[in-house]
Structure 1
């Protein structure tokens, strides 16, 4: 990768209370709507066009778009909290929005300053949802120079949002030069096949389809810019990991809330218990208390790092590699505990809700299926190694789309 300094990113300062409160209220309204039929929609496993309309109408797609270009001018801390709130109701749609925020911000991380205004105006005016096709462990795409532009061939799996997004961010190396470019492909581009094959255990409405590119034309105007190792540009990856951690926490919070409803609905008690109801039994109170406390601690760490992310991002081209590395490791720490808390809470909540809560119509399993599926995105053990290597020896992992 080549080093190209970006003069600025269009993000400044940190979120104020009024901003946070406004978008929390918006997110809760959307979450309530999603929660009403989350299980039925999960079972239908249809492309989430209706859910995207709900996000769009609520103004959530443009939360991070700069106000000067028609967006809400919000901060990542706010976006991460929105992700967390939505995940408590529907992990799939939370993932869809989380990836949109990161993909849309490719404008800031990859496009030169003089080109950003046009991109921001288009995404706001045309109300785009941004999908992606950047999975680095999949077979490589072939980007061949042709005249002033390029031709794209190949395939990618796990392309979140591609089934419903108006545009798709793609990363590919230029054949013969090794230059890695980020560019945008419309969902209806000639030669692009969207394979409707996302049929997995969880996150079923994340529109994470496979894509096949057959001589797709990439014009110069479609190119955002080169993917570089300039420090502020590489903050995109810690941002992705921070988004993941937030929806793991949100899923844990949702599982706890649903478990609470079920537990309070149990009118009797275990026959050996002196309590009148299960919710009054210290055994069940202890389990719930343990899971609640752990989730609250991880949520507090997520909130702290959301603000730190905005603060560092505000430095733009002045961000140093040591600053970037320190924040990336702090986010890796969060990723470890958020993954473990999310999976544990979504699993152990069944201990207090009883065998009847495993009925298919109850839907408590949806939280576990969602967090278990996405938590396998990249091995959490390597995040532990990342944290340990930095703590013991000050060593940072090589830059990648995972670190």
Structure 2
């Protein structure tokens, strides 16, 4: 798979500190030219992925080639400031990129989106500007892809003092992208040592001794997402591996609405991709139903009605997603000035998107078969890939609890406890 050469960041002279005293690294909003520039790059990536997306899904192989494609395109460095060697783009642009790629391959869009969010932990949890800048600069220099082993429903990891460092043991399930990433980020409560009792966030190179990829991902969807588990067996973690400490600050907790906003955009991208592929199939579908009174299925009023309904609902989700993608840039720009009320506001707004993007994405990816016919269920066609992907990933965390979250706040002003899911 090849695309045009990567776009190089602007020359800005020697690298300088980018994370300000307020703790943020992202300021302002994307302009139309930035979004257009990187959406074009994403379209090139999506076109390259489309060539063999069905075969890669069927093989359940590790997505090594797609990850190289993401590096070569410049997308993995999209959100690193230009003065630190990155592309200096905004979150609105990043979410648009993820949505574009998800229209073709949601697995790869997920790996890329998680890479940005895990990389961003250097800012959200960073102990100081110098440390955060160092992580971002090294990441851009090496074009690192980041993954995580944070899954909060897995047992906690053991993180025990050993000399000047710590020894890490345990396992985490559903570590999306970890088998193909450069860096795996995780966290654990320190037992003993200088960080005793603190929730330490650290980043480890994937090849570190004692880290083992379990290769146990064999689900009906997201098959190319490398979402198997990871085990840690006496892994040595030094102070240099520490990204920061989770001190339950509102700014640090803004990362979770970012994760949920990524999901909403990917679900929307899946719906858009399913509609685009279904429209192509419907236009090529020969003959017509004998009661329709027309010669082609593409002229059948029933076909028009189904597409009209699905396209309209998808457009409504798109409008909400676009609005929230811009708002997220405003939210992260607050840095350490973020209040609990600020964090709750973006959390609740994104929860509403999660509800409707899940519902519409599942409906669209399922109902497109009504207008493409039995022939579209052939394995080689790959129309089912959209439904299998969203059906698998939409179970990440129960959408019913998002409905409850939104309803409880609407009625009683209740805000759910901060977590890695809310």
Name the TM-score class by shorter chain: over 0.9
Candidates 170, 182, 189, aligned match of 2:186: 170
Shift of 1:326: 1.1
Residue number in structure 1 paired with 2:53? 38
SS of alignment partner, residue 23 of structure 2: coil
- Residue 349 of structure 1 pairs with residue 368 of structure 2: yes
Give ranges in structure 2 of 5+ residues lacking alignment. Answer: 1-19
Note the 1:138-157 alignment, pairs <5 A. Answer: 138-157=154-173
SS of alignment partner, residue 166 of structure 2: strand
Shift of 1:121: 1.1
Residue number in structure 2 paired with 1:306? 325
- Residue 274 of structure 1 pairs with residue 289 of structure 2: no
**What count of residue pairs does the alignment treat as equivalent?**
399
Residue number in structure 2 paired with 1:101? 116
Residue number in structure 1 paired with 2:256? 237
CA deviations 1:140-168 (Å, max 9, x no partner) are: 11011122211100011100111000110
Shift of 1:114: 2.2
CA deviations 1:76-100 (Å, max 9, x no partner) are: 1100000000000101101111111
- Residue 287 of structure 1 pairs with residue 306 of structure 2: yes
- Residue 21 of structure 1 pairs with residue 36 of structure 2: yes
SS of alignment partner, residue 105 of structure 1: helix
Shift of 1:197: 1.4
Candidates 335, 339, 347, aligned match of 1:316: 335
In 1, Cα distance between equivalents of 2:247 and 2:421:
15
Q: Is the 8 A contact 1:61 1:127 kept in 2?
A: yes
In 2, Cα distance between equivalents of 1:220 and 1:32:
42
Shift of 1:6: 7.3
Note the 1:179-218 alignment, pairs <5 A. Answer: 179-218=198-237
Q: Which deviates more from structure 2 when the two are superposed, residues 235-244 or residues 185-194?
A: 185-194
In 2, Cα distance between equivalents of 1:324 and 1:262:
44
Residue number in structure 1 paired with 2:107? 92
Q: Is the 8 A contact 1:69 1:120 kept in 2?
A: yes
In 2, Cα distance between equivalents of 1:144 and 1:230:
24
In 1, Cα distance between equivalents of 2:380 and 2:42:
26
Residue number in structure 2 paired with 1:265? 284
In 2, Cα distance between equivalents of 1:310 and 1:15:
9
**TM-score for both structures, normalised by structure 2:** 0.93
RMSD, aligned α-carbons = 1.2
Residue number in structure 2 paired with 1:58? 73
Q: Is the 8 A contact 1:202 1:373 kept in 2?
A: yes
SS of alignment partner, residue 387 of structure 1: helix
Shift of 1:194: 0.9
Residue number in structure 1 paired with 2:98? 83
Q: Is the 8 A contact 1:251 1:342 kept in 2?
A: yes
Shift of 1:7: 3.2
- Residue 128 of structure 1 pairs with residue 152 of structure 2: no
- Residue 297 of structure 1 pairs with residue 313 of structure 2: no
- Residue 160 of structure 1 pairs with residue 179 of structure 2: no
CA deviations 1:109-146 (Å, max 9, x no partner) are: 01121211211111011111001000000111101112
Cα distance, 1:6–1:110 mapped onto 2, change above 3 Å? farther
CA deviations 1:287-313 (Å, max 9, x no partner) are: 001001111110111110010010121
Q: Is the 8 A contact 1:27 1:82 kept in 2?
A: yes
In 2, Cα distance between equivalents of 1:144 and 1:267:
66
CA deviations 1:297-343 (Å, max 9, x no partner) are: 10111110010010121111111111110110010000000011111
SS of alignment partner, residue 239 of structure 1: helix
SS of alignment partner, residue 154 of structure 1: strand
- Residue 374 of structure 1 pairs with residue 390 of structure 2: no
Q: Is the 8 A contact 1:228 1:234 kept in 2?
A: no
CA deviations 1:19-55 (Å, max 9, x no partner) are: 0010010000110111111101111111111101111
Candidates 386, 400, 405, aligned match of 1:386: 405
In 1, Cα distance between equivalents of 2:348 and 2:133:
32
In 1, Cα distance between equivalents of 2:171 and 2:197:
18
- Residue 364 of structure 1 pairs with residue 364 of structure 2: no
